[in-house]
Amino acid sequence: MDKDARTTPSQRVPRKDLLAQLERARAESALAPILDAIADMAAVLNEQRQVVFANRAMLDFAGSGSVEEVCGLRPGEVLACLHAKEAGDGCGDAEGCRFCGAAVAVQETLRTGAPVTRECRMTTGVHGRTAALDLLARATPFQIDGRRFVLLVLSDTSHRKRRAALERIFFHDILNTVSSFTLYLDMLKTGALDEQGRRLIERLASIAATLVEEIQGQKVLVSAENRTLSVQRDLIESHGLVERLVQQLEGQDVARGRRIVVTGFSEAFTFVSDDSLVKRVLANMLKNALEACTEGDAVTISFRPDADGRVRFEVHNPTPIPAEVAPQVFQRSFSTKGADRGLGTWSMKLLAEEYLGGAVSFQTDRERGTTFTLLLPRKPKGMG
């Protein structure tokens, strides 16, 4: 697209013609109720990018009482875009309009006859208050009585953008803080301490390591849900992987009074996957199994290659899952441990199936307890 060109022509349709277009739009019996049912802001635009019809969400945002009040305006004028106020002919005529995602989407749709989606950043002054909006603009062409129109839907993504920025800042700052704490603990270890002091320092170091692991786990889950998680290809040895996990968990409170046993029929093998993600899935399996046990119980973990080119990890605990709970185990935020929990089993399935190309399942009954199974490809697709 020519960045020096204006996004749309400056000419506008006369008021009487606009009202006629509005009546034609209203005559489409399903159009108004469908658009009003959309939670996002939506408007029908003519070829001059003027509003012919706007839904209730857009009218409410603009503080307008009726469609007639905004009929003939352009989207930036309805939403009180600061660029539209500065331009000589309103929305589409200012220097900043050349880069407006909404205007570009509408222009491309009119030119190509195909739906177009663009990101749009807009600073508005609705109700006398300045607000910065992050919008996703979707422009879709259609016809009424042989005349071309565009349906423009504006979804407010500001909250997602702000949340993502805050999450990045939070994880960065809190990990730096914990790293500093760990550094000072290491310095204390080198000093002259009695036996009790050394035990306390070791305990604090273990708590700090667990805290780092939990923060990293939340960071991975956020990235996975946002579809921004990158997957590595590591050569993993099964026995070493499980051994490290068991050592890590045995020092945590969740394992107090319980045992983790590696079964004797496990087989050592190597496979290619993302080491940190596999550990995270298996760690969640083990933690859930330990939490389900009573003191004195043992959780077992086994691993072996399957004949179909996959590898299998199984984590067993003697406690059955109640029948009313089992169907909800992998649902996000479901937990038997209280509100604001339930991300462990959800993250297992998300990471294993969406990112590692594997599968997570479980079997449970009163006699044999509960077994969670993780199946992974021995080699990712594309590798010989």
pLDDT of residue 307: 81
SS3 state at 21: helix
- Asked if 368 and 321 touch (Cβ cutoff 8 Å), the reply is no
| R_g (Cα) of the chain, nearest Å | 29
The more confident residue out of 291 and 146 is: 291
Tell me what pLDDT residue 342 has.
43
pLDDT at residue 221 tops 90 = no
Within 10 A of 48 (CB to CB), how many other CB atoms are there?
A: 17
Kindly give the interhelix angle for 195-225 and 275-292, rounded to the nearest 10 degrees: 110
Q: Which residues contact 259 (CB under 8 A, 6 or more apart)?
A: 297, 298, 299
Comparison of pLDDT for 148 and 336, the residue scoring more: 148
- In this prediction, residue 171 carries a pLDDT of 64
Domain positions in the chain = 15-156, 160-225, 234-377
Q: Which amino acid is at 107?
A: Q
Selection from 307, 318, 314 nearest residue 266 by Cα: 314
When pLDDT is cut at 50, 70 and 90, the band that residue 303 belongs to is very high
Q: How confident is the model at residue 384 (pLDDT cuts 50, 70, 90)?
A: very low
- 203 vs 321 pLDDT, higher one: 321
Pick the CATH number of 15-156 from 3.10.440.10, 3.40.50.300, 3.30.450.20, 3.30.365.10: 3.30.450.20
What is the tens place of the pLDDT at every residue in 19-62? 787 777 777 657 778 888 888 999 999 988 899 889 999 999 88
| CA pair distance 384, 378, nearest whole angstrom | 11
Q: Is the pLDDT of residue 335 over 70?
A: no
The listed CATH number (3.30.565.10, 3.40.630.10, 3.20.20.210, 3.20.20.20) that belongs to domain 234-377: 3.30.565.10
**Share of the chain residues as helix, strand and coil, in percent rounded to the nearest 5:** 45, 25, 30
Report how far apart the first and last C-alpha atoms of the chain are (Å, whole number): 43
How many angstroms separate the CA atoms of 45 and 154, rounded? Answer: 13
Residue bearing the bigger pLDDT, 126 or 257: 257
Which stretch of DSSP H or E encloses residue 283?
A: helix 275-292
Q: Which residues lie below 8 Å from residue 371, measured CB to CB, with a gap of 6+?
A: 314, 315, 316, 362, 363, 364
Concatenating the DSSP letter of every residue in 168-210 gives HHHHHHHHHHHHHHHHHHHHHHTS---HHHHHHHHHHHHHHHH
Residue pLDDT, tens place only, 63-100: 888 888 888 899 988 988 887 776 567 787 777 777 78
Give the pLDDT confidence score for residue 131 in this predicted structure.
76
Least confident of 81-95, 124-138, 170-184, 249-263: 170-184
When pLDDT is cut at 50, 70 and 90, the band that residue 164 belongs to is low
Does residue 153 contact residue 38 with C-beta atoms inside 8 Å?
yes
Q: What is the pLDDT of residue 253?
A: 78
Asked if the model's pLDDT at residue 343 lies above 60, the reply is no
In this predicted structure, which of 95-109, 183-197, 285-299, 315-329 has the lowest mean pLDDT?
Answer: 183-197
> What's the average model confidence in pLDDT over 157-181?
64
For 274, the token pair is 């993302």
Phi-psi region of 222 (alpha: psi -120 to 50; beta: other; left: phi over 0): alpha
Specify the higher pLDDT residue, 369 or 338. Answer: 369
Q: What CA–CA distance (Å, rounded) separates 378 from 272? A: 6
For residues 177-206, give the mean pLDDT.
71
| Nearest partner of 275 among 237, 314, 311, 228, judged by Cα | 237
Indicate the burial class of 246 (C-beta count within 10 angstroms; 0-12, 13-18, 19 or more): middle
Spatial CA neighbour of 99 closest among 13, 36, 21, 6: 6
Hey, how many other C-beta atoms are within 10 angstroms of the C-beta on 60?
12
